[in-house]
Amino acid sequence: MDQLSDLLASDPIYMAVAVVLALIILFGVIKKLLKLVLVVSALLVLWIAYSTWSGNDVSVKSLTDDLQSGVDAMKGKASEVTNQVKDSAIKKIDQKTEEQVNKILPDKK
């Protein structure tokens, strides 16, 4: 990791490329989050409209309870996906490390 930071700090072209890539990733994440917020907001408005027209009373308590259960479900899913990505990255790193070690130190049979 130190080598990477030294490489980026020593050459401004590498730093510029890294900044551009970071901005692209950041804007992609923001774009996805904005879409998620818009979809959830639209669903919330539709749910409130349906509840009002069907005669059900929409209270702040029921809204906060439903919202909290949705947030808890999203946290659980995000945690699960994060763990899957972490496990996948560790497996890839182990595999690449093993390949490099085998290149450097081939088994003598």
Cα separation, 89 vs 109, whole angstroms: 31
**Domain residue ranges of the chain, discontinuous segments joined by +:** 1-57, 59-109
Please tell me the predicted confidence (pLDDT) of residue 30.
Answer: 93
Checking if the pLDDT of 64 tops 90, the result is: no
**Which pair of structure tokens corresponds to residue 47?**
């749910």
Cα separation, 57 vs 96, whole angstroms: 58
- Residues 27, 20: contact at Cβ < 8 Å? no
Please tell me the predicted confidence (pLDDT) of residue 109.
Answer: 53
Cα separation, 2 vs 11, whole angstroms: 14
Write out pLDDT tens, residues 31-46.
999 999 999 999 988 9
Torsion-angle region of residue 108: left (phi > 0), alpha (psi -120 to 50) or beta? beta
Checking if the pLDDT of 74 tops 80, the result is: yes
What's the whole-number average pLDDT of the chain? Answer: 85
